[in-house]
Amino acid sequence: MSVVLSEIQDFPWYTTTVLAASATFTGAWKRVHYIPLSTETEIPVSMPWARYVSGLVMADQTGTVRVDQSNDGTTVHFRESFVVGIGLANAVGFLRRIYGSWVRVTYVNDATLQGSFSLFALVINGV
């Protein structure tokens, strides 16, 4: 896969705000594939590339980063989860293909208050 740099979007999910014990960071749903609501009033757009979500998460306490995908921007239809260990040596980087029309990134902290936390993720187009 190669990445078209002009197709890299902004960082729709970014935070360094530490989380309380068992707290969750929930990124907003981002619409990544255009599907017309009605074929009578909207013209479909063809996209010749695949979409991916890529990110990096680092924390000083354990937790889980999740990539949620949806067909409606409300219900999670597909989820992939990755355990994040303690510290930089256990940071998690991910690159996942997007199949749904909507995607978001969330993080669930384990049972200890964080002292440091960093999460950023973005949607990219691959060819």
pLDDT tens for each residue of the chain, 127 residues long = 444 444 445 568 999 999 999 999 999 999 887 555 555 555 555 554 568 999 999 999 999 999 999 999 999 999 999 999 999 999 999 999 998 889 999 999 999 999 999 999 998 876 5
What's the DSSP call for residue 85? Answer: -
What is the pLDDT at residue 26? 97
What is the pLDDT at residue 32? 83
pTM to 2 decimals? 0.80
What domains, with CATH codes, occur in the chain?
5-126 (2.60.120.680)
Tell me the C-alpha distance between 28 and 75, whole Å: 13
What is the pLDDT at residue 66? 98
What is the pLDDT at residue 12? 83
Q: What are phi and psi of 89, to 5 degrees?
A: -65, -20
Tell me the C-alpha distance between 102 and 124, whole Å: 13
| Complete DSSP assignment for the chain | --B-GGG----SEEE-----TT-EEEPPPEE-S---S-TTT-------SEEEEEEEEEESS-EEEEEEEESSSSS--EEEEEEE-BSGGG-EEEEEE--SSEEEEEEEE-SS--S-EEEEEEEEEE-
C-alpha 62 chain-centroid distance? 18
What is the pLDDT at residue 6? 41
Specify the amino acid at residue 97: R
